[in-house]
Amino acid sequence: MTIVDVLEQNARSYAGEIALVEINPGVKEVKRTSWKESALVEPNPMHPYRREITWDVFDEKANRFANLLLQRGIKKGHKVAILLMNCIEWLPIYFGVLKTGALAVPLNFRYASDEIKYCVELAEADVLVFGPEFTERVQEIVNDIAPNRMLFYVGESCPHYAESYNELTANCSSIPPRIRLDVKDNAAIYFSSGTTGFPKAILHNHESLIHSARVEQNHHSQTKDDVFLCIPPLYHTGAKMHWFGSLLSGSKAVLLKGTKPEFILKAASDEGCTIVWLLVPWAQDILEALDTGALKLEDYDLSKWRLMHIGAQPVPPSLIKHWKEYFPEHEYDTNYGLSESIGPGCVHLGVENIDKVGAIGKAGFGWLTKIVDENRNEVAPGEVGELAVKGPGVMTCYYNDEAATKEVLDDRGWLYTGDMAMLDPDGFIFLVDRKKDVIISGGENIYPVQIEDFLRANLPAIHDVAVIGIPDKRLGETTLAVIELKENMSLTEEEVNECALNLPRYKRPHKVVFDEIPRNPTGKIEKPKLRERYCGMRLVEAQNKG
């Protein structure tokens, strides 16, 4: 069975029931009277732009796009790149690609035009599907990419260099194509975060996708009655693989465009959401809004919300403790994963292990884990080493990059994650830091996450914090703490240093600056940008500014 089979089964079993809802607060709504006529309606903050589709319509739209692709000669092994903001068309397009036997290639919506060109060419995409937010970026590279591939535009006012997805699919058959799919067939190419240069192309097969769906439902027990609030971008494995739990259970999911605390709480209230997956910054923003009184829980009906879970980065225990003060009935979970392991779930805390907050958990459903030294020999509990994972969700390879594949994937199927971790006496894995982010100062290994967690837990004025290594002639590297403050709160370097006296001397920040923390769309701190920003004169300028 593949996830395509699951969608078609849902279309038969739950035909008229809602599959997807799109909510876009504060934007002009397009009211369609037909496929070719539309009118703009001014935004109403009390009633945000909302669209929905049922399971049978979802499948029908996927069939129409699949048949369009097949008419244009797309078949097994071809690739279709998807460059869209979260919208109700996103998943039907994704499944339409899979129904042809072609590979779906989701692209990061933050990519600049040169990155779009790079990824389209690296994946050898035959088609690019894009939305109105990207017309200028695509136009900049259209002469380079258009001669070798088709361009389909999703939205109103199709640019001259592309074809209208809406018009073309409206005239295509809704009968499902009968393309035989096997779990070992290639299914998708995802891209790494690209925080250290241009991203790598990660190849997954259909077995990876269906396994991630089973992992998600096993971990979070989705039933037909659940409603999943999906906020992160669908191009990333994290959001989509968590949604796969809704796919397996045939339950409704809500795609929310916008991350403001009031948007999240209103959507959860209005749609009766039961499961909400947050990134650390969004959870912090919600708590800050509640702390300051900007939002009040009594203004929302959140009685159905049963589970809040977080992924994509280490979770400060202080954050969850604070969360439980406002939401004592919530179950909490965290999932660890990476795009090379088809997203979240290869390591999983479990809602029953709230006393282990701070750990990323144990091996997830169907997964194996180990922690190894530089020679890839397992280390003892309590020792720091590199986390490795193995299971049906491990990537096939880095597409067209054999050397990079061999660096992280051995011939026994173990994927070496680049994350430094240690095992506690109870068998729980604690993430220490990214291998590339470890600071070596005077021969001592320093793990920034440990310092970040300490400062965040002990200095209430901190909204966000990142610790990086900066060059030092004597020690090789020293630690710099970059601190972003909560609105209308103050903190001095002296106060930070006084608090840090409770840390071992070698872990104390040598320098402190106050600035914004850059994060990518999946919530991860972009430390390479910080390292670039705080070298040489830039560090002096930042200190003077602080």
The full 3-state SS of 326-349, as one line of letters, equals HCCCCEEEEEEEEHHHCEEEEEEC
pLDDT at 449: 80
pLDDT at 431: 83
pLDDT at 110: 80
Fold agreement (3-7+55-210, 438-545): no
Burial label for 481, CB within 10 Å (0-12, 13-18, 19+), is buried
For residue 369, the surrounding DSSP H or E stretch is strand 368-372
Residue bearing tokens 């604690």 = 430
The answer to whether 205 touches 184, Cβ cutoff 8 Å, is yes
pLDDT at 85: 93
Residue bearing tokens 């004592």 = 328
pLDDT at 195: 44
The answer to whether 208 touches 243, Cβ cutoff 8 Å, is no
When the candidates are 3.40.350.10, 3.40.50.12780, 3.30.450.20, 3.40.50.150, the CATH number that belongs to 3-7+55-210 is 3.40.50.12780
For residue 365 the two structure tokens come to 């459903």
CATH code at 438-545: 3.30.300.30
For residue 413 the two structure tokens come to 């199927």
Task: Give the integer Cα–Cα distance in Å for 227 and 145.
Answer: 40
For residue 135 the two structure tokens come to 């017309």
pLDDT at 473: 64
The answer to whether 543 touches 484, Cβ cutoff 8 Å, is no
Q: Which residues of the chain are under the pLDDT cut of 50?
A: 29-45, 195-196, 537-546
Task: Give the integer Cα–Cα distance in Å for 241 and 220.
Answer: 12
Pairing between strand 227-230 and 252-256? parallel
Task: Give the integer Cα–Cα distance in Å for 503 and 525.
Answer: 23
Tens of pLDDT along 354-384?
889 889 999 999 999 999 998 999 999 999 8
> What value, to the nearest 5°, has the Cα angle with vertex 99 and ends 94 and 101?
105
Sign of CA dihedral 276, 279, 281, 287: positive
DSSP 8-state class, residue 88: T
The answer to whether 63 touches 49, Cβ cutoff 8 Å, is no
Burial label for 480, CB within 10 Å (0-12, 13-18, 19+), is buried
The answer to whether 393 touches 214, Cβ cutoff 8 Å, is no
pLDDT at 406: 94
Task: Give the integer Cα–Cα distance in Å for 201 and 217.
Answer: 27
Q: Where exactly are the structural domains of the chain?
A: 3-7+55-210, 438-545
Tens of pLDDT along 140-160?
999 998 888 999 999 989 999
List phi, psi (to 5°) of 365.
Answer: -55, 120
Task: For residue 447, give every residue at least 6 positions away whose Cβ sits within 8 Å of its Cβ, in sequence order, or none.
Answer: 384, 420, 432, 433, 438, 439
DSSP 8-state class, residue 109: T
pLDDT at 518: 87
pTM over 0.85: no
pLDDT at 378: 95
Task: Give the integer Cα–Cα distance in Å for 419 and 365.
Answer: 20
Task: Give the integer Cα–Cα distance in Å for 294 and 298.
Answer: 12
pLDDT at 31: 45
For residue 111, the surrounding DSSP H or E stretch is none
Give the residue among 52, 21, 152 at the shortest CA–CA distance from 97: 152
Q: What is residue 136's three-state secondary structure?
A: helix
